[in-house]
Structure 1
């Protein structure tokens, strides 16, 4: 039996999804009422209009997000987004070791080659609260270097940024994206993932000149 576990946040009109950046606008381009004048009686359609920044909801970062010469969402092969072998790393407060920084020691015992590595911190419990933006868990530069060297193909986290945002440097983004290790941020429900293997999918639109975009991220879990 195969189950699909949604790991994405819902995107709604007017809600702020990244502090300091504008909320999405979701509205009618053509309403159902107005469409009736265009079609035969009994036929109507809705065409929506969406305006949003690319860092909205649950999203994936491609190299172009950090580097002008990096691949955008259109240039990345589809295989880099779909049905990736994946593991979850439980770096929650309940594990007793984590403060804000999640360093390489959390990963050294793992075989991450060719894998999507999803870091479960439990921070998604603060989603849509002021606390979500302050003191969030993040990876360290040595964690990023270890994951890159060990062959991870994607690293995801269920907090507001995979980097420490208290300063102006972003070493985790810089290290991973320079080597085409994709990043997924603002994931959710990682507590529901199995400790055993599963598959991970997070596909953005095929956009030229865009390095970050919202995704419908999900896990495919096979149950005996």
Structure 2
């Protein structure tokens, strides 16, 4: 790494039994081979552990691929990495209110080819029941503004980029339909400058998955 480069981890840690969504299965992280078991067939002083992990794709901080809402769209394994790696970040800060309209998006300026990360501050409630209540979301007007602006990625630090009561799911349906990848449940956006950082996301290439946990980072050179 070059001297002076800073890397900010934008993800939340996933742990056994955590609540990632109240209505989804909690992740299960089990030992498949324990250290005591491995000691029986390893050299003296050598042990290891193997795990079996079961969890929904929408666990922790996760990537939504177009396939999640559009059967002909690329799944997590097929999203082009060029659309996720070294993408200039534009942070849109919306500290007040729940429904995020087009105004803050429009005020952010040129967003073409960018990763638009919406900072609401809601990530401070991670691990609490409050994270799932009054979660900020993008309105249909904000979504229309983003589709016109042509970013490569849109992310948010709240529980869902859509209003959970809106059956049309405008953000997920329209943004993914425009081949704009989504990042949900982001973290530490308060540490990322409005402009000048670069997003890097390398998803685990899981075929047939519409969403899957990722570890996005912001790189400040």
**Same fold, TM-score > 0.5, yes or no:** yes
Residue 58 of structure 1 aligns with which residue? 61
Residue 100 of structure 2 aligns with which residue? 102
Q: Take 1:73 and 1:197, find their aligned partners in 2: how far apart are those partners?
A: 27
Matched ranges for 1:151-170 at <5 A: 151-170=150-169
Match of 1:67 among 62, 66, 70: 70
Matched ranges for 1:121-200 at <5 A: 121-200=120-199
Residue 207 of structure 2 aligns with which residue? 208
User: In the TM superposition, what is the alpha-carbon distance from 1:74 to its structure 2 partner?
Assistant: 1.3
Deviations 1:137-176 (A, max 9, x none): 1101121121111111110000000001123220111110
Contact residue 17 and residue 56 of structure 1 kept, 8 A: yes
Q: Take 2:23 and 2:178, find their aligned partners in 1: how far apart are those partners?
A: 29
Segments of 5+ residues of structure 2 without an aligned counterpart are none
Q: Take 1:172 and 1:49, find their aligned partners in 2: how far apart are those partners?
A: 33
List, as ranges, runs of 4+ consecutive aligned residues in structure 1 with deviation greater than 3 Å: none
- TM-score scaled to structure 1, two decimals? 0.94
Q: Take 1:195 and 1:165, find their aligned partners in 2: how far apart are those partners?
A: 28
Contact residue 72 and residue 209 of structure 1 kept, 8 A: yes
Deviations 1:38-87 (A, max 9, x none): 22222222111111110000001000111111110111112222121111
Contact residue 64 and residue 183 of structure 2 kept, 8 A: yes
User: In the TM superposition, what is the alpha-carbon distance from 1:215 to its structure 2 partner?
Assistant: 0.6
Match of 1:87 among 78, 86, 90: 90
Residue 96 of structure 1 aligns with which residue? none
Contact residue 141 and residue 175 of structure 1 kept, 8 A: no
**What RMSD over aligned residues (CA atoms) do the two structures have, in Å?**
1.1
- TM-score scaled to structure 2, two decimals? 0.95
